[in-house]
Chain A
Amino acid sequence: GAVVSQHPSWVICKSGTSVKIECRSLDFQATTMFWYRQFPKQSLMLMATSNEGSKATYEQGVEKDKFLINHASLTLSTLTVTSAHPEDSSFYICSASTTGTHTTFYEQYFGPGTRLTVT
């Protein structure tokens, strides 16, 4: 159980276009979803945290207007990279957390990641 999917797994887009990444919890309701960014050989950097039905909380330095996050339901969150530039090329990972009885220590369940390349 506790499976999180991400779609697409990889995407190539042209500079100036927007790209949407979906994160779904398949077998549980995620009260909170997290979006991370990871550059090659580096750690995961939290971009934002979203709760269903409310606005996302962005980490310092993350542009809200560039990285739009929508947590429309308890099983779906989307990250839209608007007006993408080559420096936005990265590995984007989502995770989902629940405060229900599914876990006793509020584990975050990670999606498989999306590799974005902006040309």
Chain B
Amino acid sequence: AQKITQTQPGMFVQEKEAVTLDCTYDTSDQSYGLFWYKQPSSGEMIFLIYQGSYDEQNATEGRYSLNFQKARKSANLVISASQLGDSAMYFCAMREPFTGGGNKLTFGTGTQLKVEL
């Protein structure tokens, strides 16, 4: 079974600094996908970035980049130039094949990020 581990329940970062949120995963599948979502206090889940297991390049989306180390089974999210609006809960998730159609996501426990002045 797939498993996602986020070991940082809470993180603080100064505005304009970079921050790394850790995520490790465990799977026996060769083909899988890794996602990062942001959940502000309003509750909506905001998609940030995706990394496929066969992608050779690390994914980047604006200020977000994913540090994908396949051998270590880690997929850390790096947020550069942090902004106050980045304060939120961040979830790492893995897509697993689902025989019934669609693709199930397994979520980590999340990291609460607080950006300070």
Q: Mark A residues whose CB is within 8 Å of B.
A: 31-32, 34, 38, 41-44, 46, 49, 51, 57, 91, 93, 95, 97, 99, 105-110, 112-113, 115
Contacts and interface: CB of A to CB of B under 8 A. Distances in A.
Contacts, number: 68
Contacts of A108: 102-103, 105
B43 A105 contact: no
A44 B103 contact: no
Please tell me the size bucket of the interface on B: 20 to 34
A8 B37 CA distance: 23
29 contacts: A31-B101, A32-B98, A34-B102, A38-B43, A41-B112, A43-B91, A43-B108, A43-B109, A44-B45, A46-B104, A49-B102, A57-B100, A91-B43, A93-B45, A95-B105, A97-B103, A99-B101, A105-B33, A105-B50, A107-B35, A108-B105, A110-B44, A110-B45, A110-B47, A112-B42, A112-B43, A112-B44, A113-B43, A113-B45
